[in-house]
Amino acid sequence: MAEIHALGPAAPGNRMLKLTAFLFGAVAYLTFLFTILYAIGFVAGLVVPKAIDTGAKSTVFEALAINLALMSLFAVQHSVMARKSFKQWWTRFIPKPVERSTYVLLASLTLLLLFWQWRPMPAVIWHVEEPEMAAVISGLSFVGWVIVFTSTFLINHFELFGLHQVANHLAGREMSPPVFRTPLLYNFVRHPIYLGFIIAFWAAPTMTAGHLLFAAVTTAYIFVGILLEERDLTAMFGDDYRRYRERVSMLLPWRKLI
């Protein structure tokens, strides 16, 4: 950082640093894209080499312990690094323009570790025999992923995944302050991205114990995440967010309170 301040804005060294920051942001973004696409295959058990119901065999207790540890690692990394106080501390060591990209990269790597090391728990909890019904349920899961992707673009996809920050830095533009947005799906629920994940994880024609563990723990984590995120959003947007909470339900579009 000291080096950045010592160089004038147009100095070639400064330009190199900005370009390096941009390339880092691009790598982080591409890692995120790979991770989210892998996640679709991991949960659905399609295309990817290592899915939720495949991998090294282990006892139920071993699998439970390893899988819970992997999910806890992701939960801690993902929620601690998202807090304002952590960001203030963290940006004393890393340049501010790459803070979001670093977060995105570490979250993606933690998830890839989870996919790689996840232990299958193959006991079947439910299985839908009828092919048409199974296809409808798989389709519903896919709809969940579409809601996730669409909603990221509704609030600001490229800012959410750090690319906007490094592109602005490269162009010498200041980041504008966060904007409160409630387009389309955000008029029906306050957390369409999280709702999309819940649908994608639970809509399974064959639900194994491992898949159920994944869906249940991630859903619980989403509820904790919502509590923390809404605290931050209320601090950031004040009465606008308070009024929004009164008007729009959290996750279920047809019930105001949930």
Ligand X SMILES: C[S@@+](CC[C@H](N)C(=O)[O-])C[C@H]1O[C@@H](n2cnc3c(N)ncnc32)[C@H](O)[C@@H]1O
The site for ligand X (CB under 6 A) is made up of 151, 155, 160, 180-182, 186, 191-194, 229, 233
Is 125 or 236 the residue whose CB approaches ligand X more closely? Answer: 236
Whichever of 18 and 190 has its CB closer to ligand X, that residue is 190
Report in angstroms how near the CB of residue 184 gets to ligand X at its nearest: 11
Pick the closer one to ligand X by CB: 47 or 235: 235
Q: Do 119 and 63 contact (CB within 8 A), yes or no?
A: yes
Min separation Cβ 106 and ligand X, Å: 15
Using N-to-C axis directions, what is the helix angle for 12-44 and 163-171, rounded to 10°?
170
Q: For 172-258, where are the alpha helices, taking DSSP H only?
A: 192-202, 209-237, 239-247
Name the residue nearer to ligand X (CB basis): 90 or 117: 90
Q: CA 38, CA 17: separation in Å to the nearest integer?
A: 31
In this structure, are residues 141 and 43 in contact, taking their beta carbons and an 8 Å threshold? yes
CB 244 within 8 A of CB 250: no
| Distance in Å, CB of 65 to ligand X, minimum | 28
Minimum distance from CB of 95 to ligand X (Å)? 19
CA distance 90 to 114: 24
